[in-house]
Amino acid sequence: MANKTKDYLAKVRKKTSFSDYKISQEYSINQSNLSKYKSGKAALSETHAWLFANILGINPAEVVAHTKLEHAKITGSKSKAVFWQEQLEKLANNSKSIKIDIAQINPIVGDLDGNFQKIIKLTKEAHAQECDLLIFPELSLIGYPPEDLLLREGFIQQMEDKIILIKQTIPEDIAIIFGAPSKQDGALYNGAYLIQDSQLRVYHKQNLPNYGVFDEKRYFESGHEAFIFECQGKRIGLVICEDAWTPKIISTTANQGAQIIVSINASPFQVGKHSQRIEQIKQRVLATKTDFIYVNMVGAQDELIFDGASFVMNSNAEITLQLPLFKETVKRVSFTPPNTLPADTDPIEKTIYNALVLATKDYIEKNGVFNGVVIGLSGGIDSALTLAIAADAIGTGNIKAIMMPYEYTSNISLEDAKIQATAMNIDYHEISIHTIVNSFKTQLNTLFNGMEADTTEENLQARVRGTLLMAISNKLGKIVLTTSNKSEMAVGYATLYGDMSGGFAPLKDVSKTLVYQLTKYRNTLSIIIPERVIEKAPSAELAPNQIDQDSLPPYQELDAILALFIEQKYSVERIIKQGFSEQTVKRITKMVLNNEYKRRQSAPGPKISQNAFGKERRYPMTSKFQP
């Protein structure tokens, strides 16, 4: 390492790409002093030594000691030279590389004991591997988002008891960071706890997100102070999730001496989100010249999916460690670029499919009240894909597939449903609904006398099927997975209390065109969905020779309009200017708004898009708004 002022200056010049004049202006160093530093006529002042150390990302004590030794030699002070030489030797003997591990875990909301046990177990395992600092995600002790559990006094008390128990249980010679709320002076904060040397400190999240699926200002107060600590001679700054998207918070942390910045996160998945994270952190790193550790949660919670994908970026904005998507993992941090990183070549269909599988698996298993799944298998593409997702999530032995034919069900649909169930080794049953539907019609004949058959009779078929599925669910303890996709839910092309009946909707945020893409992708792993299911025109089969495009535009056109209206929030006029028929756009957007009441009663489903039909969409059911 350099031990002369001019060498440190040269390194600062190289790292910042600044001229001496720019360094003087940027860091408020007198030009005369800078000239003396450059020529070697003067050693760095203690203030400038500390400043250069932060810029270079090295231990400030070493730079101060080197420059103090240099000054002693320049001034001829032998006693001071001996003293500072001894300090340098002590620093060399005590210094060692810091060993940091990332714990990308899947906590369960409200499972304080289970999450506590996981933190303790992984801490002890990391300690056995001589880890110095183990980092868990945001709110990892209680799960995210905890929502109104935070308003319960008993919940907060139990959480605080667990925090004390963690402090008492972990080995003394390992430091850990984990997320949990912090209650101080009657205010609740989103906290990052540091337990180090049997001492407990907490950082309070400063930037609270309050948009989309986030409503942290409902529960938390904002913190206002940066948080820096030392571990193995390294100065480490700590932030939480949205803080890292805020340049001022990161620059303040870096300016207070942080050489490494750690961000703990509960950042939900949506298409394209990981690349956005990488770009944001790259901007922070290039601005502050600090190493950066991004630790994200993995797993699913109700509508949200957390993809993990934690990563490390060194001060040159190079990714030096990339953790996998959708998988619990513990990895040792390195700031040295590897020879190769895993190539990001997975098709988007694979990423989305895996997200839906994780969401379905976690919803079923974390709730702990269902022993499996029941699905109405129609021979159509939506139920075929839902069955595949369910099987990959919880295994084929935990699923019942029920085909419920009526007089409009085609022989092809019957055959394809049975072919898929057989190919997947699924427990498959057929229940004819002819007698039930006809009995319902008979009972309604007097009331409907003189009226022509319409969608009422079509919906009756769907409602009989929904009732049967819910009865099977009730008797067998298996959750009904609904099979409607986002396109259908958008325009109300689903039957309330019919095919909308169920507990979870894996395709709720998946457009019809994406359904086709995902189905084709799943068949590349193993051919389980009959090709005819993919090729035939989609139909609800509730009327003779019925196909979806009798009442809807082609799905490619429909999905393009819906994406602009729902996810981009375009006006009708702006959508029409994209080249779509005015009549079609007005009809489709009106259908979207008119069916808000249906969606409000639909089963929850995983969010994968920029705007899903769930907690982030808060439109009135009663409204006269014309888009």
Q: Mark the binding-site residues, compressed into ranges.
A: 211, 267, 273, 376-383, 459, 483, 488, 598
Instruction: Indicate the SS3 state at residue 340.
Output: coil
Q: Quote the CA–CA distance of 206 and 489 in Å, as a whole number.
A: 37
Q: Quote the CA–CA distance of 160 and 188 in Å, as a whole number.
A: 12
Residue with tokens 């319902």: 440
- Residue 373: strand pairing partners: 399, 479
Binding residue numbers for ATP? 376-383, 483
Binding residue numbers for deamido-NAD(+)? 459, 488, 598
Q: Quote the CA–CA distance of 76 and 63 in Å, as a whole number.
A: 20
Choose among 235, 238, 205: nearest CA to 220.
205
What's the half-sphere exposure (Cβ side, CA atoms, 13 Å) at 233?
A: 18
Q: Is 477 left (phi over 0), alpha (psi -120 to 50) or beta?
A: left
Residue 529, H or E segment = none
Residue 186: Cβ-neighbour burial (10 angstroms; 0-12, 13-18, 19+): exposed
Residue 230: Cβ-neighbour burial (10 angstroms; 0-12, 13-18, 19+): middle
What's phi and psi for 260, nearest 5 deg? -125, 135
Q: Take residue 438 and report the two structure tokens written for it.
A: 């006809």
Choose among 418, 475, 465, 476: nearest CA to 484.
465
SS (H, E, C) 173-185: CCEEEEEEEEEEC
Q: Quote the CA–CA distance of 165 and 238 in Å, as a whole number.
A: 22
Residue with tokens 């019809």: 512
Binding residue numbers for L-glutamine? 211, 267, 273
Distances (CA, A) of 231 to 97, 98, 100, 253, 459: 10, 7, 10, 16, 65
The sheet that has 199-204: what strands, in order across it? 199-204, 187-196, 175-184, 133-135, 100-104, 329-332
| Catalytic-role residue among 70, 118, 131, 138 | 138
Choose among 220, 219, 311: nearest CA to 261.
311
| Catalytic-role residue among 62, 162, 241, 512 | 241
Instruction: Indicate the SS3 state at residue 195.
Output: strand
Q: Check if 231 is active-site.
A: no
Do residues 540 and 376 make contact, with C-beta atoms less than 8 angstroms apart?
no
Distances (CA, A) of 624 to 493, 619, 620: 21, 12, 10
Catalytic residue list: 138, 205, 241
